Protein backbone atom coordinates (compact mmCIF):
# COMPACT_ATOMS: atom_id res chain seq x y z
CA UNK A 1 0.00 0.00 0.00
CA UNK A 2 1.31 3.46 -0.78
CA UNK A 3 2.08 5.68 2.17
CA UNK A 4 -0.67 8.05 3.17
CA UNK A 5 0.28 11.67 2.89
CA UNK A 6 -1.57 13.90 5.29
CA UNK A 7 -0.47 17.32 4.16
CA UNK A 8 -0.09 18.89 0.75
CA UNK A 9 2.66 16.84 -0.91
CA UNK A 10 4.30 19.92 -2.39
CA UNK A 11 4.86 21.38 1.07
CA UNK A 12 7.32 18.67 1.94
CA UNK A 13 9.75 20.03 -0.59
CA UNK A 14 9.77 23.58 0.80
CA UNK A 15 11.63 26.28 -1.08
CA UNK A 16 14.49 24.04 -2.07
CA UNK A 17 12.97 23.64 -5.48
CA UNK A 18 11.24 26.15 -7.69
CA UNK A 19 7.49 26.41 -7.77
CA UNK A 20 7.41 24.82 -11.21
CA UNK A 21 9.17 21.73 -9.93
CA UNK A 22 7.00 21.63 -6.82
CA UNK A 23 3.94 21.79 -9.05
CA UNK A 24 5.34 18.97 -11.14
CA UNK A 25 6.01 16.88 -8.05
CA UNK A 26 2.48 17.47 -6.80
CA UNK A 27 1.20 16.37 -10.19
CA UNK A 28 3.33 13.22 -10.12
CA UNK A 29 2.16 12.40 -6.60
CA UNK A 30 -1.42 12.85 -7.68
CA UNK A 31 -0.89 10.67 -10.75
CA UNK A 32 0.82 8.02 -8.70
CA UNK A 33 -2.16 7.79 -6.37
CA UNK A 34 -4.83 7.96 -9.03
CA UNK A 35 -6.32 4.93 -10.71
CA UNK A 36 -5.59 4.41 -14.36
CA UNK A 37 -7.14 2.39 -17.14
CA UNK A 38 -6.24 -1.27 -17.13
CA UNK A 39 -4.77 -2.43 -20.46
CA UNK A 40 -6.56 -5.77 -20.14
CA UNK A 41 -10.09 -5.16 -18.89
CA UNK A 42 -10.22 -1.43 -19.73
CA UNK A 43 -11.65 -0.45 -16.38
CA UNK A 44 -10.16 2.32 -14.31
CA UNK A 45 -8.85 -0.08 -11.72
CA UNK A 46 -5.13 0.09 -12.26
CA UNK A 47 -3.36 1.16 -9.11
CA UNK A 48 0.28 1.74 -8.39
CA UNK A 49 1.64 -1.27 -6.57
CA UNK A 50 5.21 -0.11 -6.21
CA UNK A 51 7.73 1.76 -8.31
CA UNK A 52 7.01 0.89 -11.92
CA UNK A 53 4.50 -1.81 -11.02
CA UNK A 54 0.78 -1.37 -11.56
CA UNK A 55 -1.90 -3.80 -10.55
CA UNK A 56 -5.49 -3.98 -11.64
CA UNK A 57 -7.92 -4.40 -8.78
CA UNK A 58 -10.56 -5.78 -11.12
CA UNK A 59 -8.80 -8.52 -13.07
CA UNK A 60 -5.55 -8.77 -11.10
CA UNK A 61 -3.40 -7.94 -14.13
CA UNK A 62 0.03 -6.76 -13.13
CA UNK A 63 1.84 -4.48 -15.47
CA UNK A 64 5.16 -2.73 -15.53
CA UNK A 65 5.09 0.89 -16.49
CA UNK A 66 6.45 4.24 -15.55
CA UNK A 67 7.42 4.80 -11.96
CA UNK A 68 4.48 7.14 -11.43
CA UNK A 69 2.22 6.56 -14.40
CA UNK A 70 1.34 3.37 -16.28
CA UNK A 71 2.65 4.99 -19.40
CA UNK A 72 5.23 7.71 -19.26
CA UNK A 73 5.44 10.42 -21.90
CA UNK A 74 9.11 9.52 -22.24
CA UNK A 75 8.22 5.90 -22.84
CA UNK A 76 5.83 6.91 -25.59
CA UNK A 77 8.49 9.11 -27.14
CA UNK A 78 11.01 6.26 -27.07
CA UNK A 79 8.47 3.96 -28.69
CA UNK A 80 7.74 6.54 -31.39
CA UNK A 81 11.42 7.11 -32.03
CA UNK A 82 12.06 3.38 -32.27
CA UNK A 83 9.23 3.07 -34.78
CA UNK A 84 10.69 5.86 -36.87
CA UNK A 85 14.12 4.27 -36.80
CA UNK A 86 12.62 0.95 -37.82
CA UNK A 87 10.74 2.52 -40.71
CA UNK A 88 13.87 4.25 -41.90
CA UNK A 89 15.88 1.06 -41.90
CA UNK A 90 13.12 -0.81 -43.74
CA UNK A 91 12.87 1.67 -46.58
ZN1 LIG B 1 -7.91 -5.16 -15.37
> What is the domain-level CATH number for residue 89?
2.20.25.30
Ligand 1 centroid to Cα of residue 78, in Å, is 25
Per-residue pLDDT at 7: 62
pLDDT tens figures, 49-77? 887 888 999 999 998 877 666 666 655 66
Per-residue pLDDT at 10: 59
41 contacts 56 by C-beta, under 8 angstroms: yes
Give this prediction's pTM. Answer: 0.49
Residues 25 and 50 in one domain: no
Tell me the residue range of the domain where 20 lies.
1-34
Angstrom distance (rounded) from CA 69 to CA 56:
13
In the chain, how many domains are there? 2
Angstrom distance (rounded) from CA 42 to CA 14:
38
Per-residue pLDDT at 56: 94
Cα 10 to Cα 13, 15, 75, distances in angstroms: 6, 10, 25
Residues 14 and 54 in one domain: no
> Would you say 41 is a known binding-site residue?
yes
pLDDT tens figures, 13-51? 555 667 777 788 788 788 888 888 898 999 999 998 887
Per-residue pLDDT at 20: 79
Angstrom distance (rounded) from CA 4 to CA 76:
30
Ligand 1 centroid to Cα of residue 79, in Å, is 23
Residues 28 and 41 in one domain: no
How far separated are the first and last CA of the chain, in Å rounded? 48
Amino acid sequence: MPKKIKSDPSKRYKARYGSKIRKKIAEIERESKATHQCPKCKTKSLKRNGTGIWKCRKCGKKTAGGAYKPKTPIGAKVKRTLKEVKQETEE
